[in-house]
Amino acid sequence: MVVTLIFFLLTHHFVNSEPISRDDFPAGFVFGTASSAFQFEGAVNEGNKGASIWDTFSREPGRILDFSNADMAVDQYHRFKSDVDLMKDLGMDAYRFSISWSRIFPNGTGEPNAEGINYYNCLINALLEKGIQPYVTLYHWDLPQTLEDKYEGWLNKQIVKDFEYYAFTCFKVFGDRVKRWITFNEPRGFSIQGYDLGIQAPGRCSILGRLFCKKGKSSTEPYIVAHNILLSHAAAYHSYQLHFKEGQGGQIGIALDAKWYEPISDTDEDRDAAYRSIDFGLGWFLDPLLLGEYPLSMKKFVGKRLPEISPATSKFLLGSFDFLGINHYTTLYARNDRAQIRKLILKDAIADAAVITTPYRGGVAIGERAASRWIRIVPWGIRKLANYVKDKYGNPPVIITENGMDDPNKPSIALDKALQDDKRIRFHQDYLSNLSAAIRQDDCNIHGYFVWSLLDNWEWNLGFSVRFGLYYVDYKNNLTRIPKDSVKWFRSILRVNGELNNQI
């Protein structure tokens, strides 16, 4: 145990958790909250909206832990004006939200839906009236169901043209006011969860025969999907450069999910395993965009199942973003999987990296757990990840597009106790302290931080069983928004000379 502790102390950066404020970040650093259309809007049958793959998936028996759906979610579709007031009161500079593709094109393509466009125009205008900048995500997992039915969605190259047309339409109708666009949210997440494990929409997999999924091939489909996502992202980027950049002056980014992986031991094989985990996560998408090819470790371990990036495609992808969004929540230990038993049995993409990840080393947890089992609170991980991106990729402009933690939604907890979210306050205090150190001490090129999330919301497979919000949503009382203690904390740190700041 003593040896483990010494190793821990020698290999980790610690930052004193002194009170944080805007002054600990550069001028112009953006603070915001984040959301997604499917988790927040509700109103699934209003405004001529079409069905999405998540509408379909969430209605399948056994898919959602608490048997709920997002038909109403937290009803931001009807309550956006009052939610914008909450952001203003917090002192946030920006709001990251996603557009529902099937609100703009109920059938995936064709003529744009005027009611959908009107809704997002009203939301964008409400934000700008309060001095809050819109950061808009074009795709946050909710593909129009018609495109899934027509040609299997992201598995077909036709999706590249349809996404480009959807993006073009959004740039055209909203781009006079939206200056920060994010093409995709967590493409690795939905490639693996939706096409390898089959636990998220559209629910495709082949692991353990057909026990979980009716269709799919876990060893190949995630790579095909990811490749088409990269092509779609680049197509949208180049369309913006050609048609809108000069007149609108906006920027295009992509939001990638990225854990930090710490070697479980100081051996070459475990260090290699940790870097390989990052390659199969962040590098899967960032290497093609900044280096023009997939990571060498992926080429080696996936082989011919990994789509080829031709010289022409490499040129098309290379440099096709203005900023990088990183969704970071947690850190795990990584060790080399010598036996590769999972790969032999399941034959799925997630096993290709030949890495075993765990939150424990020597029986000691890497950090305290949040409500979700996958989130371990490890503040130093965000600093190590920031330095990794700086050192490997030449210090591109980065925005932390999501960071946060959840509490369990327990009906037995008294409201006053549920509002006392000291753990969340410590989480953001410690992560922001490490982020500030990465910027000021390590010269990492980071320009913003978005909290997930403004409100408690519908959390995909977990339904309403966990709460990520700064504001408590009373699901039993008209979805009333009630500030948690973390709201007061953020309000205090975002003040400038005693006043709230809402200008970037």
Sign for the pseudo-dihedral over CA of 193, 230, 95, 19? positive
3-class secondary-structure state, position 63:
coil
What SS3 string covers 421-441? CHHHHHHHHHHHHHHHHHHHC
Sign for the pseudo-dihedral over CA of 173, 175, 180, 186? positive
Residue 193 gets the label, from left (phi > 0), alpha (psi -120 to 50) or beta, of alpha
Q: List, as own/partner pairs, every contact residues 456-460 make where C-beta atoms lie below 8 angstroms and the sequence separation is at least 24, other chains included.
A: 456/74, 456/409, 457/35, 457/39, 457/40, 457/73, 457/74, 458/38, 458/39, 458/40, 458/68, 458/69, 458/70, 458/73, 458/74, 459/39, 459/406, 460/39, 460/200
User: DSSP string covering 192-243, please?
Assistant: HHHHTS--STT----TTTTTS-SS--TTTHHHHHHHHHHHHHHHHHHHHHHH
Beta-bridged to residue 33, according to DSSP, are 95, 451
Phi, psi of 123 (to 5 degrees): -65, -50
Q: How far apart are CA 37 and CA 108, in angstroms?
A: 16
Q: How far apart are CA 141 and CA 186, in angstroms?
A: 9
Token duo for residue 315: 């040129």
CB contact at 8 A, 432 and 357: no
Beta-bridged to residue 357, according to DSSP, are 334
Q: How far apart are CA 135 and CA 397, in angstroms?
A: 15
User: Mind telling me the catalytic residues?
Assistant: 186, 402
Beta-sheet strand order (sheet of 331-336): 260-263, 331-336, 355-358
CA 504 to chain centre: 22
Q: How far apart are CA 365 and CA 360, in angstroms?
A: 4
Amino acid at 306: L
- The secondary element (H helix, E strand) that includes residue 487 is helix 485-493
